[in-house]
Amino acid sequence: MGILILTPNLYGQFNENPVLNKENEDKKFLNWGYFLGLNQYDFKFEYEDDLGFDANGKDLTNVQVAKSLGFNVGLIGEMRINEFLDVRLEPGLHYTSRLLGFPSPLLEEERDALREVKSTYINFPLLLKVSTRRLGNWKPFLIGGGSASLNLGSNEASLDDNLSRTYRMTKWVYNYELGFGIDFYLEYFKFSPSIRGVFALTDELIRDNDPNSPWTGNIASMKSRGIFINFTFE
């Protein structure tokens, strides 16, 4: 509903000679805000061996990932460097769920081929925002940097593994993030929609106790990657 209310105001930001809103917004050394958004996480797998296909044409190597929409919420702290550069901290909570389908010919029961991986990440990104010169009441920008994510649903300390239907991942994940967006200067606040990709740098998988496990034995690495659509209010 809030975004629908904003829409008529955004149309007026592209006028040739608009009345400038919040003219001093970008002159402050420190700026604060919050964001709400959506995410869709995936996994990128690398494998020890390519096991090919069985006699029925079923893939024996690749883990299938069914993605779903999650949500983001968090705070923003921004430090101005100059007219075009800002350093941002964006601590936030990201909830997501992924359903993994393992090559079923390697498992005795079909139900064992599925694992639902629910993750609640507390994300700590340090980002550099690179903006153009302000154009009336809007300003495009690029944003990127590094982040560390604490996975509250990792099961890292569990003694059980997939044999007990417990899927284990590392508690900490390190990522890089890249994205773009537009600042819209409205009458009372700055509204910034953006799209960002997040890419894990570290392997998140904790292997099962059995080195020949059908769930983890052939996986060389498993890294998260995802897309964020955030709506920022400052």
Q: Is the pLDDT of residue 21 over 50?
A: yes
Q: Is the residue at 176 inside a domain?
A: yes
In a domain, 83, yes or no: yes
Rounded distance between C-alpha atoms, residue 69 and residue 9, angstroms? 28
Is 23 inside any structural domain? no
- Give the pLDDT band (50/70/90) at residue 1: very low
Average of per-residue pLDDT values in the chain: 89
DSSP 54-119: -TT--BSSPPEEEE-EEEEEEEEEEEE-SSSEEEEE--EEEEEEEEEE--GGGSSSGGGGEEEEEE
Per-residue pLDDT band at 84 (split at 50, 70, 90): very high
The count of domains in the chain is: 1
Tell me whether residue 193 is exposed, middle or buried, using C-beta atoms within 10 angstroms of its C-beta: 0 to 12, 13 to 18, 19 or more.
Answer: middle
Residue 6 pLDDT > 80? no
In the predicted model, what is the mean pLDDT of residues 67-84? 95
3-class DSSP state of 140: strand
Show contacts of 218-222: CB within 8 Å, 24+ apart. 218/47, 218/48, 218/49, 218/51, 218/61, 219/45, 219/46, 219/47, 219/48, 219/63, 220/46, 220/47, 220/48, 221/44, 221/45, 221/46, 222/43, 222/44, 222/45, 222/46, 222/169
CATH at 168: 2.40.160
What pLDDT does residue 5 have? Answer: 47
pLDDT value of position 59? 77
pLDDT tens, 187-226?
A: 899 999 999 999 999 999 999 999 989 899 899 999 999 9
Domain of residue 108: give its range.
Answer: 2-13+30-117+130-233
Tens digit of pLDDT for each residue in 163-186?
888 999 999 999 999 999 999 999
Instruction: Note whether residue 25 is domain-resident.
Output: no
pLDDT at 55 exceeding the cut of 50: yes
Question: What is the token pair recorded at 19?
Answer: 């009345």
Q: What is the pTM of this model?
A: 0.84
Assign 23 a pLDDT band (cuts: 50, 70, 90). confident
Q: What is the pLDDT of residue 108?
A: 67
User: How much of the chain, in percent, has pLDDT values that exceed 70?
Assistant: 91
- Domain-embedded: residue 110: yes
For the cut 60, the answer to whether the pLDDT of residue 155 exceeds it is yes
Please indicate, yes or no, if residue 21 is contained in any of the structural domains.
no
Would you say residue 20 lies in a domain?
no
Greater confidence, 18 or 32? Answer: 32
Assigned domain for 19 exists: no
**Percent of the chain having pLDDT more than 90?**
70
